[in-house]
Amino acid sequence: MVAKKRFATPFIIWIIAGTVIPLASIAYYGFTSREGGFTFANILAMFQHDHMQALGLSLLLAVISTVICLVMAFPMAMILRESKWGKQGFLIFVIILPMWMNFLLRTMAWQVLLERQGVINALITAVGLPRQELMNTPGAIVLGMVYDFLPFMILPIYNTVSKIDNHLIEAAYDLGASKTMTYARVIIPLTVPGIVSGVTMVFIPALTTFVISNMLGGGKINLIGNIIEQEFTVNSNWYLGSGLSLVMMVFIIASMLLLQKFDKTGGQNLI
């Protein structure tokens, strides 16, 4: 086609202004001291006890909620695959609808449920049990993550699972495989691309969140996202904040590369 290359010019400018320079400025601040000299201090600050603890907890909670989402999503995707057409549309609708609710409001809903004066405690005390401290716990944060991100796990897995040719599953049975073996050797391996994109879409926001931990952790539980956010909004130490962001980026890139290894299609299913 006689398409003109120059049509892409606004896009290229936008990439430079919106992506390249901003990322470069993170790198600049990350390697600069408050006094303006070059330094590794902002990067190495990640090894401080508080920061390591926050990063460790972030990784732990993100892994736990990703695994829970995966375990909950896979059967749902299989059920969706096997349900009849009309019902399938309805079920997907049911899963998509909560995603349209503002995610802060969805997180707030759990605050309302879990709080000391909240709905669940009201139910607990109504049957004569002592009030429970449900909020401000790592468990509450995991719950919030799972609730917010579950649809992002279900949809990509369903997407790949629904494309598996039924004949492949029949072929496995035909060759003598049991149900378990058909899952282990045919269905799950073929679902890997969907699992990889689902895991990416849950793990990265879970690892980097500061909103969920703020709202359900009551500011008492610090994740790496909270630390970085506070450097920018409270302490106004952009240098340290940028340095920690860079380290976090490395973690994200590393985990994505690790995930891509499982996915031979090279991330085609990411969206």
Partner 1 sequence: MGELIRLEHIVKSFDDTMVLNGIDLSVAENEFVTLLGPSGCGKTTTLRIIGGFEKPDEGRVWFDGKDITDLPANQRLLNTVFQNYALFPHMTVGENIAFGLRVKNKPEQYIKDKIKYALKLVNLDGFQNRQIDQMSGGQQQRIAMARAIVNEPRVLLLDEPLGALDLKLRQEMQYELVRLKKELGITFLYITHDQEEALTMSDKVVVMNEGYIQQQGTPEQIYDEPVNAFVADFIGDSNIIDGTMIAEKVVRIDGKDYPCIDGTEQGFPPRSRVDVVIRPEDIDIVPYGQGQWNGTIISKLFIGVHYEMLVQSEDGKVEWLLQNYDQHDVGEKIGMKVDPENIQIMQKPKSEAESAIELDL
Partner 2 sequence: MKKTLGRIYVLLIMLFLYLPILTLIVLSFNDAKSMSVWTGFSLHWYAELFQSRLMMGAIVNTFSIAILAAIIATVVGTMAVIGMSAMKPRQENTLMAFNNIPMLNADIVTGIALMLFFLMVSWPRGYMSILFSHTTFCIPYVILSVRPRLNKNTDRLFEAALDLGASEKYAFRKIVIPELKPGIMTGFLLSFTMSVDDFIITYFTRGAGINTISTLIYSEVKIGIRPSLFALSTIIFVVALVVLITVNVHQSRADKALSAA
Minimum CB separation of residue 117 from partner 2 in Å reads 6
Minimum CB separation of residue 24 from partner 1 in Å reads 40
Of residues 179, 238, 200, 236, the one with CA closest to residue 62: 200
Per partner kind, with CB cut-offs from 5 to 8 A, the member of partner 1, partner 2, none near residue 72 is partner 2
Tokens 């499982």: give the residue: 262
Tokens 């096997």: give the residue: 82
Choices 13-21, 55-63, 157-165, 170-178 (CB under 8 A): range interacting with partner 2: 13-21
For residues 120-149, which are near partner 2 according to CB under 8 A? 121-122, 147
d(CA 242, CA 31): 8
Q: Do 107 and 148 form a contact (C-beta atoms < 8 A)? A: yes
Per partner kind, with CB cut-offs from 5 to 8 A, the member of partner 1, partner 2, none near residue 175 is partner 1
Minimum CB separation of residue 104 from partner 2 in Å reads 5
Q: Which long-range contacts (CB under 8 A, 24 or more apart) does 17-22 make?
A: none
Structure tokens, 30: 């990350």
Minimum CB separation of residue 53 from partner 2 in Å reads 19
Of residues 62, 37, 66, 29, the one with CA closest to residue 240: 29
d(CA 120, CA 109): 12
The single residue among 54, 77, 141, 228 that binds partner 2, judged by CB under 8 A, is 228
Choices 16-24, 36-44, 54-62, 165-173 (CB under 8 A): range interacting with partner 2: 16-24
Q: Do 227 and 54 form a contact (C-beta atoms < 8 A)? A: yes
Choices 12-20, 44-52, 62-70, 159-167 (CB under 8 A): range interacting with partner 2: 12-20
Indicate whether 38 belongs to the interface with partner 2 (CB under 8 A). no
Q: Where does this chain bind partner 1 (CB under 8 A)?
A: 165, 167-168, 170-178, 181, 185-186, 189-190, 192, 264
Minimum CB separation of residue 179 from partner 1 in Å reads 8
Tokens 């607990």: give the residue: 124
Indicate whether 2 belongs to the interface with partner 2 (CB under 8 A). yes
Single-letter code of the amino acid located at 179: K
7 vs 85, beta carbon nearer partner 1? 85
Helix (H, G, I), strand (E, B) or coil at 176: coil
Per partner kind, with CB cut-offs from 5 to 8 A, the member of partner 1, partner 2, none near residue 156 is none
For residues 153-192, which are near partner 2 according to CB under 8 A? none
Farthest-apart Cα atoms in the chain, separation: 77
